[in-house]
Structure 1
Amino acid sequence: MPTRRLIPDVIKNQDLSCLPPDATVRNAALLMAERRIAAVLVTEGRTLRGIVTERDMTVRVVAAGLDPDVTPLSAVMTAAPDTLEPSASALAALDLMERHHYRHLPVAVDGEAVGMVSIRDLFAVVRTHLEDEIRSREAYMFGSGYSAEATAG
């Protein structure tokens, strides 16, 4: 897979979804529902303090019987999460996420949140790469006028 950097190749122009550590789990759930996302960064200013995901809410709040209206994110977040720099490769992110079973990984510079990459973002990069490889091999084997789409009709 060609070297694709997290920023700007995988994610760009991202509007970060951040809440402070004292925000409630309900606040995070409402933000996730509104933006149709599965994770929120927990920040003080732009300084990354943690991450809260749907999985955290299921395991650490619902299953534990906590009240989402009064439970602060600081009580259920993954504090000091692993991060990668914007210049890290998509492959490095995929490897880290696979090893630790993450579906979301913050991107940070000197402790400041600048983005978040999801497994879905990385899947799109891998899929594009595989499609490009197939087209390239088809062109090599059958000539540049050949494609699976042209013969399907």
Structure 2
Amino acid sequence: MKVKDIMRPRADVIDADRTVQEAALMMQKNSYGSLPVSRNDKMIGMITDRDITVRVVAAGLDPKNTRVEQCMSQGIRYCFDDEDLSVVAQQMIRSKIRRIPVVNRSKRLVGMVSLGDIATRGQNKNISHDLLSHVAQV
């Protein structure tokens, strides 16, 4: 099974210069747990609900004045839409990540795939079990 068979075909991106409050509002509106972060049309990191909680709220920073770049997770892991799902699941296990942006071979963002997508729509129960047991406990 390929990633494109189970991915969510819609993915939003937030610019690194936007505020954390804007990111949180996007996440709330669309029920996202994370957003890819871009600068000059290139993904440079991810911001997660955990990043916001730990790096902004717990640190006493103002989400209205804190930029996404200040609290995002640096770097980006992604997969290709034509990759085998088992390969991507192993990448997620090694990296201990729950969501991963999906790009086409031109490296254009085409969707997102999550631990939940693999568990509910993936056809290989062994992959789902491995992924859930290794990543969900993080």
Q: Deviation of residue 23 (structure 1)? A: 0.6
Task: Supply the AA of the counterpart residue of 2:112.
Answer: M
Match of 2:81 in 1: 86
Match of 1:70 in 2: 65
Whichever structure has more helix as a proportion of its residues is 1
In structure 2, give the amino acid aligned to 1:21: A
For residues 1-153 of structure 1, what are the structure 2 equivalents within 5 Å? 4-7=1-4, 9-12=5-8, 14-44=9-39, 46-108=41-103, 109-126=105-122, 128-130=123-125
Aligned positions, number:
124
Task: Give the counterpart letter for 1:76 in structure 2.
Answer: C
Distance change (3 Å), C-alpha of 1:46 and 1:86: farther
Bigger relative contact order, structure 1 or 2 (CA pairs below 8 A, ≥6 apart): 2
CA distance in 2, matches of 1:110, 1:43: 16
CA 1:10–1:46 in 2, change beyond 3 Å: closer, same or farther? farther
What residue in structure 2 maps to residue 151 of structure 1?
none
Contact 1:47-1:113 at 8 Å conserved across structures: no
Q: CA RMSD in A?
A: 1.9
Deviates more, 1:44-53 or 1:23-32: 44-53
Contact kept? 2:44, 2:75, Cα under 8 Å: yes
Which protein has the larger Cα radius of gyration, Structure 1 or Structure 2?
1
TM-score for both structures, normalised by structure 1: 0.72
* Preserved CA contact (<8 Å) 2:10 2:112: no
Superposition misfits of 4+ residues, deviation over 6 angstroms? none
Alpha-carbon contact 1:48-1:111 (below 8 Å) kept? no
Contact 2:15 2:38 in 1 (8 A): yes
Q: Once the 2 structures are TM-superposed, how far is the Cα of residue 44 of structure 1 from its aligned partner?
A: 3.4
Letter in 1 for 2:22: N
Deviations 1:19-57 (A, max 9, x none): 111011100100111111111111236421211111211
Alpha-carbon distance in structure 1 between the residues aligned to 2:112 and 2:100:
6
Identity of matched residues, %: 30
